[in-house]
Amino acid sequence: MEEKLDKLRQLGCDADGAIARFMDDRAVFFECFACTLDDPTLGQLGEALSKKDCEAAFHCAHKLKGVYANMGLTPLLDECTAIVEPLRCGAYSDELLTRYNKMTELMQKLKQI
């Protein structure tokens, strides 16, 4: 378990802060971590962005932002925040898809842990 935490830290995640939110229960944290990796919302975000559906994309990104914040997945949180803020105003740009692609790359790295 410590090896997984080290890998999360190396990716820039706040694993220690997240575990503290889980009352220092590492087993529960890693159960939730596994669920986060399987959350279909990331794929739904990609679909909404490809359709330039700002409202649907905002709802997906906003949900993911909260999950990533609670889980201490800082690199994903940073990219997600950069997507949420323009969408909050209904502003779409191709940069959002670039950030989404970065999120999917980061997610693949997390899945390898």
Per the listing, tokens 């989404």 go with 100
pTM: predicted TM-score of the whole model, two decimal places: 0.93
Q: Where are the domains of the chain?
A: 2-112
Q: Dig out the tokens for 31 from the structure.
A: 């159960």
Per-residue pLDDT of the chain (113 residues; tens, 9 = 90+): 899 999 999 999 999 999 999 999 999 999 999 999 999 999 999 999 999 999 999 999 999 999 999 999 999 999 999 999 999 999 999 999 999 999 999 999 999 99
- Nearest alpha carbon to residue 110 among 22, 36, 27: 36
Is the CATH number of domain 2-112 1.20.120? yes
